[in-house]
Structure 1
Amino acid sequence: MTGLLVLTAVPAEAEAVRAGLTDPTVTVRPVGVGPAVAGAATARLLTLAEAAGRPYRAVVSAGIGGGFAGRVAIGATVLGTRSVAADLGAESPEGFIPVDELGMPPELLGGGPTVDADPELLAALCAALPEAVVGAVLTVSTVTGTAASTQALADRHPDAVAEAMEGYGVAVAAAHAGLPFAELRTVSNPIGPRDRGAWRMREAFTALTAAARALS
């Protein structure tokens, strides 16, 4: 995919993506952990490229993440239909209130807590990765670590298949630049009570390299 910018959180993810690429025009950059640093770094990279007269044509947030048990298997590849700022909002005695339901003017929400994947880019990735699980990918600033919070997220987002920490930030930067966006994840662990022994990082990185071929 000529002119594609792929953003990961950490260098190990970037290396896994690069190992699967065959197109030298695809740029891969690790931009840091969390939506704020990922969004800021993405915006800077897009601005510098445009100023240099070499603008990118599309943006992909890629890496590993957690998957909702029963919706996606460990080692599977996920393509996001939308990237959701899942913990952006307010708590209340009745439960979590998403930011777009707090009565704020739409112009203050930067497009709201959800950014949809570009339909054409998503369709191309789905065609190249026919076994990928397709659904919403949640962006969180605090990784989910209890059964109760996992269930609450699953109930609030019945179409969600995975969670990570950068997609929404990258998506907002792409949207402000007017560029197509998509999110690609491979699953290293089930979302829920934190159990490092259940994580399958090697499998997830191997799957990420395999999935990266679709970006070439």
Structure 2
Amino acid sequence: MKILIVAATYAEIAPFLSTLSITGIPDEPVNFNRHELSFAISGVGMVSMAYALGKAFAKQKYDLAINVGIAGSFSKKIKIGQLVEIKEDIFSELGAEDDEEFITLEEMQLGDIFYSSSFRNDGTADLQKVKGITVNKVHGNEESIENVMEMFTPKVESMEGAAFFYACEEAEIPSLQVRTISNYVEKRNRNNWDVPLAVKNINIWLYGFVKNLN
């Protein structure tokens, strides 16, 4: 399979690359377990992700695109460092304000905001399946957290996920998004975060997934 592995930052996939004895992002595909792996670092945010994938998909047709990285969880039932598969992701901020009400882009009949994964494989069977939202500004205010949970009932949030699914859908490329929880969505407190653990766990999973992928 021709596989594109994309992350927002280099740090999120550096351990996987190191396991393959690769330093930096290779310019050419890398062969591993009968698969041809390509890599892209999009940069943080949905605009960066969409642009990076647009460039990548214009050059190559892939059999699978995998978005890996860290995320924040709205649910304390999901542990810090736990892996989750994002099955549905939402552009939660696309829309308009009507006084104190928020009208989504979909409600305005101007486009979709819901996107989902399109890759089915037993390699993710043991991962908890969750709904995510994609934001420009991560939540750190109790009122805004309550509002977005009431509107969309998300389990996690990221800054790229829905854009990843959107680009893959437009290019008709099977997509898979797996993330690890680095923090809870709450009033910002970096002392409660564990980014090293989240990065470690996502890279362990990525190596095992690609190694066992038929």
- Does the Cα contact within 8 Å between 1:72 and 1:133 map onto a contact in 2? no
Q: Distance in 1 between matches of 2:130 and 2:86?
A: 5
CA RMSD of aligned residues (A): 1.8
- Does the Cα contact within 8 Å between 1:39 and 1:171 map onto a contact in 2? no
Report the identity percentage: 23
Deviation at 1:25, TM superposition (A): 2.0
Q: Distance in 1 between matches of 2:185 and 2:57?
A: 32
Q: Distance in 2 between matches of 1:17 and 1:139?
A: 25
- Does the Cα contact within 8 Å between 2:94 and 2:105 map onto a contact in 1? yes
Q: Which has the higher strand share?
A: 2
Q: Give the number of the structure with larger relative contact order, counting CA–CA contacts within 8 Å between residues 6 or more apart.
A: 1
One-letter identity of the residue aligned with 2:45: G
1:150 and 2:149 are equivalent in the alignment: no
Q: Which has the higher helix share?
A: 1
Aligned to 2:28: none
Q: Distance in 2 between matches of 1:90 and 1:215?
A: 41
Per the normalisation by structure 1, the TM-score is: 0.84
Q: Distance in 1 between matches of 2:84 and 2:40?
A: 20
Aligned to 2:7: 8
- Between Structure 1 and Structure 2, how many residues are aligned? 198
Change (3 A) 1:147 1:15: same
Per the normalisation by structure 2, the TM-score is: 0.85
Unpaired runs of 5+ in structure 1? 50-54
Aligned to 1:114: 114
Q: Distance in 2 between matches of 1:103 and 1:38?
A: 24
Change (3 A) 1:19 1:137: farther
Aligned to 1:211: 205
Secondary structure of 1:101's aligned partner: coil
Q: Superposed, which structure 2 residues align to 1:15-30 within 5 Å?
A: 15-19=14-18, 23=33, 25-30=36-41
- Does the Cα contact within 8 Å between 1:9 and 1:30 map onto a contact in 2? yes
Secondary structure of 1:96's aligned partner: strand
